Structure 1
């Protein structure tokens, strides 16, 4: 790994991938085709892109039961334990509606309402991602969403991976469709003969999925436009270089464009980690992907002290941040920008990916400066409640009219005045 002495700002932020002209045109064409042809477009595009010939889109309950029976009992138990942890964490995020009453009879409040329906996109193709299902479905369930729709691209034989269907079964998701890519996003947003539209779409996907989500935003809500995975490790001289190297590679194996960064005030640790990364790479099954990631988007920044290292971390605003210092908890309060913070040597990033409970759908590409992990609030909406008494309007009506006329909105002012006159 390249070792860089910090002199000024640290930045590995990449330009947000807005897609090539060809990709944008393809997504636009797919969305239009789904709008015009409905289910037939989904069958055609699934055969074209996934090499799967389908006779129906919806997964039957029998398919879910067969997949569930195929799963190893120990794997199912691991899934159940993870689901319990994820649900427990998100249960604590749930908000309540509230009202407050003033002496003049005014009642103000906020009503929390779950969304009616959400669509969860589960990536397929190269791999299956049961953890992605958990992280998207559980907060929606905790929020109280009644209709949760899952879409995922089928394998060439027209099936979904057993692990995907078994996880959905464990979570109680019953409406599942074998469709992926931009066409799945279009179907969720606008509907077809078989798939009724939803109010919000969540879940990661490739560039075509990301561009489609961006294109349908406004007709429906979306969670975020996720970029390649990122990890930053902030460590001092006492940290274990083998742990750090393993954690950097845990993200590098995701994608050639994933980012793996160490920030440390220790030149010695920097050199040890650089060597250890190269050593561990040799036996990694996804060596090619990880090697490309480390080469193009990996770095070790050596700062003059821990204070400078913290400044660098806040500048990077990483998706995942590990604190591997002598007193890591003492640094948590100084971290302003990070999607998830992993504290101490035994809080390896995969602990959060799969099991601990917090959501692993996190802001990327520096957007942790202003956004948060996927959470229960993402599956609710808030309505303000305003109830003014006659006494309150008599007391404040004149002021409201003045403010309306200040903006040149006479009808607004008269709507108040007519009540003040008692006519």
Structure 2
């Protein structure tokens, strides 16, 4: 793919669905309660998102009103905490249209979920000479665990490369659906390019060949309504903190027909029905509990569920339309800079992720100057070094837009970029 520089003006998309941006932003206390952030243009949402008051209140209420051991007590407050925890699981079940809550595993993060599947599902059945396929655009979280298990088993990590338009070159991935393919893992949306992959088509093809497939949906949940039954994936992961929820909690979805194929990795209290003197005689609890060793993250689960309810209240379609309109504004403005190269394909700006670099100014210097101007962006390799190596660049600036951003945030970034050019002139 050739980075985009100047081009003809981009025609505006059709009018977006009405979206009350001021009302949405008012839900986020950080933009009003902290003197450092009242004028902050927060454009690092692909890394982590801010939290609405409804999420903060739900978590606070969990800690204040019914904090007690989940699944461990027979007194009323413990029963309440267990009930609320399982209600949160059901909210997540409904959010992705899963068939059963047994498929919904709470864990530490999307990264944690991928490691569970790589080591607890694939490694025990992976043979030397088999292929595991990932894409060139993967985050390290969906690359390194597969690299690890391939190294352990003597298997091959294969890469689905990119075409010139920044999308996956499926036709060029010879052998992708061959009999020696043991696993396919790919992101729904690239955290660097913003490219939205056709995961429904890939899952359908994988199912036809009985190839297990994992979808990393961490960057997609605010703007895409995912139905795992229709998607027909074997595994899916995402994290709460990228969709207005708390840090330190994520979700692993395991399709019902795969639940018995995954070995628990974290062992300890709460995930075992009978602990014997030998490992072979030890009996694990039924899913999802066998995958949730230790004291459950009650406040995290409650916050996660509240974040899902917030996303539903906004509407994922409306969020996508609004984010897309701001991203188009930024994309068009960046095209006016002769020395700026854009990596994000125009077709995929609806993700709200726009990555670029400057021919003369290092990405870290740009981010520092923007930060001093109250514009928060990310600079670096974005945990996607194989992708940046594909473009022969070491780092880029990434602006990622969310529902609380405004046209003023876009103007602030462009103003800071112009200032940076005068500093380095």
Larger Rg: 1
| TM-score normalised by L of structure 1 | 0.25
Higher relative contact order (CA 8 A, sep 6+): 2
Structure (1 or 2) with the greater helix fraction: 1
